[in-house]
Amino acid sequence: MEKQLSQIMPVDLINLSKIEIIIELEKLGLNNKQAKMRSSQLWNWLYVNGVTDFDLMSNIAKPFRLELKEHFYINRPKLISEQISKDGTRKWLFRFFDENNPLVAPVDVETVYIPEKTRGTLCVSSQVGCTLTCSFCHTGTQKLVRNLSAGEIISQVLMAKDLLGDFPNQKRPNNGLIPNENIRAITNIVMMGMGEPLYNFDNVKQALLIISDGDGLALSKRRITLSTSGVVPKIKPAGEEIGVMLAISLHAVRDDLRNELIPINKKWPIADLLEACRTYPSLSNARRITFEYVMLKGVNDSDADAKELVRLLANIPSKINLIPFNIWENSPYECSDWETIERFGDIVNRAGYASPIRTPRGRDIDAACGQLKSKSERVKRDKK
Ligand code: SAH
Ligand code: SF4
């Protein structure tokens, strides 16, 4: 009989869905009922308690813990650095390296935490670098190094929870900038870090389904937002199979300009993108799509642009998020003047969109939208 994966080399539990854990346990000889029971115990330790050591799993007897250790492990990245902004935003650099699986290239990944009075948002990366080359985005200047695995996406949340003291019986760091003990430190997740999540669909799907699982981390799908530059064919599957909130990086109302800012627009122009939005599964006034619009001085910030934006979105249940452009070294654009952003915001506001301007956070530590760029480089294959 073919040898099972977990019998040949140990498997990282954080990559597996509940069902996959059950299957792995059955391969070890447990019957279905035992495997289900053990998998929910494991799930609870992994995601409710954030445990990485099998010896802490007190409701599992020692001999079985030893067996689990032989076949499974629980990998976490190494914390390389933590920067804390004046406004409380935190940026972490995590190094993913799996000593059990040395074929997977080690990578550095940035994750950002944005605390507000009544909520805390974690901005999670889906790839290292990006295949796309949006002209205003720092990540876009870095080639794709690789996709992150589901486990690496989930681990950003688990690490952040650990660092914020967000697991039971942990202490919050004592600087008053994290929401108080009565609410969770992480209440919302945005897939707005490095990378295009819909170009890493399977891993992002697996990760978000685990993150939203009610028996584990239990983040509601309504509090998880996936942002895409407009990978049109994947929008409907995202709605049907993942079911989280959607954000679209629109940034321009004319194809000629959008082609320049977001080259993928040449493949899927604005009309196709908006059609995919109009038919996004479970779209309603209570579940609107967020349209992101970065404010670039003299490029896309005229009154006519604002009016066209409102017109384009008229029949889509939507929110508009105006993002002041965050500059980075040698970036080819400037941020629109504040009066221009306000005037643009007023036009959008008068059309019925509430508080559309996004306050930039963590600019002093380069943690704001589009500023992330890890030091990981793709290893050159030809050694000439
Ligand atoms: N790849 C996805 C998600 C990551 S980018 C996407 O493009 O949607 C998250 C958001 O930050 C996107 O709306 C992106 O357009 C925006 N962004 C990128 N660079 C920016 C910058 N320099 N200033 C402000 N927003 C930026
Ligand atoms: Fe990639 Fe999004 Fe940046 Fe475009 S804006 S380069 S899709 S991360």
Give every CB contact of residue 197 below 8 A, 6+ residues apart in sequence: 126, 127, 191, 204, 226, 227, 228
Counting from 1 in the atom list of ligand 2, the atom nearest the Cα of 131 is: 1
Classify 37 in phi/psi space as left (phi over 0), alpha (psi -120 to 50) or beta: alpha
Distance 196 CA to ligand 1 centre (A): 10
- Mean pLDDT on 297-320: 96
Cβ atoms of residues 46 and 13 within 8 Å? yes
Q: Which residues are catalytic?
A: 110, 369
Question: Residue 66 and residue 51: Cα distance in Å, rounded?
Answer: 16
Counting from 1 in the atom list of ligand 2, the atom nearest the Cα of 194 is: 8
pLDDT greater than 50 at residue 381: no
Distance 14 CA to ligand 2 centre (A): 27
Question: In a mutational test of the pocket of ligand 2, which residue from 109, 134, 267 has the highest number of ligand atoms less than 8 Å from its CB?
Answer: 134
Question: Residue 88 and residue 362: Cα distance in Å, rounded?
Answer: 8
Counting from 1 in the atom list of ligand 1, the atom nearest the Cα of 333 is: 22
Tell whether ligand 2 has an atom less than 6 A from the beta carbon of residue 195.
yes
CATH of domain 78-383: 3.20.20.70
Distance 370 CA to ligand 1 centre (A): 5
pLDDT at 361: 83
Distance 230 CA to ligand 2 centre (A): 10
Tell whether ligand 1 has an atom less than 6 A from the beta carbon of residue 137.
yes
Tell whether ligand 2 has an atom less than 6 A from the beta carbon of residue 229.
yes
Counting from 1 in the atom list of ligand 1, the atom nearest the Cα of 326 is: 23
pLDDT at 377: 63
Q: Which long-range contacts (CB under 8 A, 24 or more apart) does 76-83 make?
A: 76/52, 76/155, 76/158, 76/159, 77/109, 77/152, 77/155, 77/156, 77/159, 79/159, 79/163, 80/108, 82/163, 83/365, 83/367
Going 150 to 153 to 156 to 157, the CA torsion angle's sign is negative
pLDDT at 355: 67
| Summary mean pLDDT of the chain | 91
Tell whether ligand 2 has an atom less than 6 A from the beta carbon of residue 190.
no
pLDDT at 342: 95
Segment of 4-8, 20-24, 134-138 carrying the highest mean pLDDT? 20-24
- CB 256: neighbour CB atoms within 10 A? 8
Counting from 1 in the atom list of ligand 1, the atom nearest the Cα of 248 is: 8
For atom 21 of ligand 1, the residue with the nearest CA is: 370
For atom 4 of ligand 2, the residue with the nearest CA is: 134
pLDDT at 339: 96
Structure tokens at 131: 């295949």
pTM of the model: 0.94
Distance 358 CA to ligand 1 centre (A): 12
pLDDT greater than 60 at residue 284: yes
Question: Residue 80 and residue 38: Cα distance in Å, rounded?
Answer: 34
Please report where in the chains the tokens 């629980």 appear, as a residue: 74
Condensed to tens digits (0 to 9), the pLDDT of residues 23-60 reads 999 999 999 999 999 999 999 999 999 999 999 999 99
Tell whether ligand 1 has an atom less than 6 A from the beta carbon of residue 228.
yes
Listed in order, strand segments (DSSP E) in the chain are 11-12, 72-73, 78-84, 90-96, 107-115, 120-123, 127-128, 146-147, 188-191, 224-228, 245-249, 289-295, 318-324
42 or 360: which carries more pLDDT confidence? 42
Distance 363 CA to ligand 1 centre (A): 14
- Mean pLDDT on 15-19: 96
For atom 20 of ligand 1, the residue with the nearest CA is: 370
pLDDT greater than 70 at residue 78: yes
Tell whether ligand 2 has an atom less than 6 A from the beta carbon of residue 130.
yes
Condensed to tens digits (0 to 9), the pLDDT of residues 168-200 reads 888 887 665 677 777 899 999 999 999 999 999
Break the chain into its structural domains and give their ranges. 2-73, 78-383
Helical spans, DSSP H, in the chain? 5-8, 18-27, 32-43, 62-71, 150-163, 201-211, 235-237, 255-261, 270-278, 303-312, 338-350
Question: Residue 211 and residue 42: Cα distance in Å, rounded?
Answer: 15
2 or 134: which carries more pLDDT confidence? 134
2-73 carries CATH number 1.10.40.60: no
Tell whether ligand 2 has an atom less than 6 A from the beta carbon of residue 166.
no
Percent composition of the chain: helix, strand, coil (DSSP 3-state, to 5): 35, 15, 45
Tell whether ligand 2 has an atom less than 6 A from the beta carbon of residue 137.
yes
Condensed to tens digits (0 to 9), the pLDDT of residues 122-173 reads 999 999 989 999 999 988 788 888 999 999 999 999 999 999 999 988 888 7
For atom 6 of ligand 2, the residue with the nearest CA is: 140
pLDDT greater than 50 at residue 384: no
